[in-house]
A and B are shown apart, each in its own frame.
Chain A
Amino acid sequence: MTHTLVVVWAGFAIGLIFGAVGQRIEFCLTGGLREWWGEGRPRRAAAFVLAVAVAIAGTQLVAGLGLVDLGESLYLQAGFSWLLIPLGGVLFGCGMMLARGCGSRALVLLGDGNLRSLVVLLCLGISAYVALTGLLAPLRLSVAEATTVTPELTAPSIPGLLESAGLGPGIARALPAILLAAGLAAFALVRLGLFQTPRDAGGAVIIGTLVPAGWVATGYFGADDFDPVRVESLTFVAPVGDAIQYLMFSTGTQLAFGVTVVAGVLAGSIAASVLSRSFELRGFESPGHMLRAIGGGVLMGVGGALAIGCSIGQGLSGLSTLALPSFMAATGIFVGAFAALRLAKQ
């Protein structure tokens, strides 16, 4: 097998596990935040927090062992827009509340028979490319150029900050990774009480592990002297658009990691849903309901494009690299979700 074939099959396997586990434990940041902030039930939010902790620990481990050069990833590029990253996060946060689920959740729900998610995904994928390469791209690029900052650091990340404060590279990586992973895990398990539902905790650990697995797939198995694969892990904005594009242009494009992850999530969710006999076709109840899905999909697509990632892309994969822009994007997503929840209550 060529290295590109290894990478795309690894992507499919990772997606398959994500889809199946996500379907079983209803892994969802949107639902988690809504239940936690709105109803005082933090079970699903806690699962997301635990997954972040595992992703950070695992990713920093594979990077520390030298298996993967995270510096090649999108999240650790030297310059980033101080405006578009948090702004995109806020738009994405609003969108995921409006559509009642982010891109990855929509894929899992589609596998469950929820046809509303198909509308969300189509709107998300197309509007992401409107902002990435289409009608809004010139505007995005000119704003990005005017607002890009390049911090004087070895990398725009927490380890980069600590190194500039005089710490050695090893300790600058290990210290924040251990503290953050342990702190978040303790918060999820003890403070939010996830230890009471070991099934959710187990599922969250598996999903968190898929992030370093993605880094290893693209950054280690995809490394090649002549034709290296782009270093990336789980994300669900551009890949949803890529998947739509692949359906239309497959004879003229190369199959990439993100697309097989999307296909895998859908397949995994369908399998888990059918095996557990929970598959059921569902549609919209009213035009207003459909409008919410469309609006949410568009906000997520555009927001995710501006923020270079979604709740999974920046929230799991981005945070796992300890990149500063990912913390800005994640904060934006929380603010947007909170604002949307407040507005919806009134």
Chain B
Amino acid sequence: MDLPRHFSRGILTAAAGFALLVLGAPSWVNAQGRAAWERIDAATELLDGATPRAGSIRLDLPAVTQDGSSVPVTVEVDHPMNPDDHVEALYLFAAGNPSPEVAEIHFTPLAGKARITTRIRLDGSQTVVALARTNRGEWLAGQRDVRVTVSGCLSQGNSSDNSDFMQARVRPPSRMAPGEPGEVRTLINHPMETGLRKNPDGSLIPERIIEEFRAELDGEKLLAARFHRAVSANPYLLFFVAPGRHGELALRWEEGEGAGESATATASIPD
């Protein structure tokens, strides 16, 4: 090589530096910052020694939000949903909340895709973590940072009006592309009292939440969800029904001791 000596040496140094950086980076990350799920006791308990494959769950949250009481979150597990190999359960955690458990969703292949949208409560800027387990026992993980600022507006909403308490709403799939899973939106009017809020007189408002949600299609289990108090008031859940399925969608929300509300809708998803 005819390159001037100092030039080639410069290139060599740069290349060596670059290689060090590339090779060194993963170990440096491991040494300095662990994956977010490792810092959540409930998550490590659930995993029981298993190591989840990172990066296969996509979390869609606003980068910055002014309303920590209702942050829209979409979680999609990048995994097939056929009877042999499908996502069985999805767990959501908010690492910075007083109690990190947010919700867990149990899917069957009838759901068509392991994707849900809901709204959650976030106590300040933090990392939202999702773990998913397949029927083959494989664990997947994903995480996303959210910045939550104080509320810009003083709007408290007129939520004192509880005339529509426990009113369930469901919007069955419409306008679908053939072969695509159909989208179902559900919501029930419920304050989801955390048990952390105080009355004006200083006494604690007792915890009262919708604990369970179940969806069945013609008696066949489609999806079941367990909500914790970090799910926002008027719990909202968007989920999917596999293509080629037709029938009566039966939904059931439950408040713990058997009190609950049901709703039905017709679902007809083209092949």
A residues lining the B interface (CB < 8 Å): 71-72, 74, 77-81, 129, 132-134, 137-138, 141, 144, 225-227, 230, 238, 245, 249, 251-254, 305, 308
Contact = CB atoms under 8 A, between A and B. Distances in A.
Interface in B138-189: 149-158, 160, 169, 171, 185, 187
Nearest to B158: A71
Contacts of A245: 64
B66 interface: yes
Interface of B: 61-64, 66, 149-158, 160, 169, 171, 185, 187, 236, 238
B64 A253 contact: yes
28 contacts: A71-B158, A74-B154, A77-B154, A78-B158, A78-B160, A79-B154, A80-B154, A132-B153, A133-B66, A134-B149, A137-B152, A138-B150, A141-B150, A144-B154, A225-B171, A226-B171, A226-B187, A226-B236, A226-B238, A230-B155, A245-B64, A249-B64, A252-B63, A253-B63, A253-B64, A305-B152, A308-B153, A308-B154
A80 B155 CA distance: 10
A333 B66 CA distance: 27
Contact of B62 (A132, A138, A230, A254): A254
Nearest to B150: A137
Given A72-B158, A137-B150, A226-B171, 9 more contacts: A74-B154, A74-B155, A77-B156, A134-B149, A225-B171, A227-B236, A254-B62, A308-B153, A308-B154
Given A133-B149, A252-B62, A225 B156 contact: no
Nearest to A133: B149
Contacts of A129: 152
Nearest to A134: B149
Contacts of B151: 133
Given A252-B62, A254-B62, A78 B150 contact: no
Contact of B152 (A238, A249, A252): A238
A274 B23 CA distance: 57
A81 B153 CA distance: 12
B157 to A, nearest CB: 7
A253 B65 CA distance: 8
Contacts of B236: 226-227
Contact of A133 (B150, B156, B157, B185): B150
Contacts of A230: 155
Contacts of A252: 61-64
Contacts of B62: 252-254
Contacts of B169: 225-226
A71 B155 CA distance: 11
B238 to A, nearest CB: 8
B158 A132 contact: no
B154 A133 contact: no
B187 A225 contact: yes
Most chain-B CB neighbours within 10 Å: which of A71, A227, A238? A227
A226 B64 contact: no
Contacts of B158: 71-72, 78
Contacts of A71: 158
A117 to B, nearest CB: 24
Most chain-B CB neighbours within 10 Å: which of A79, A80, A252? A252
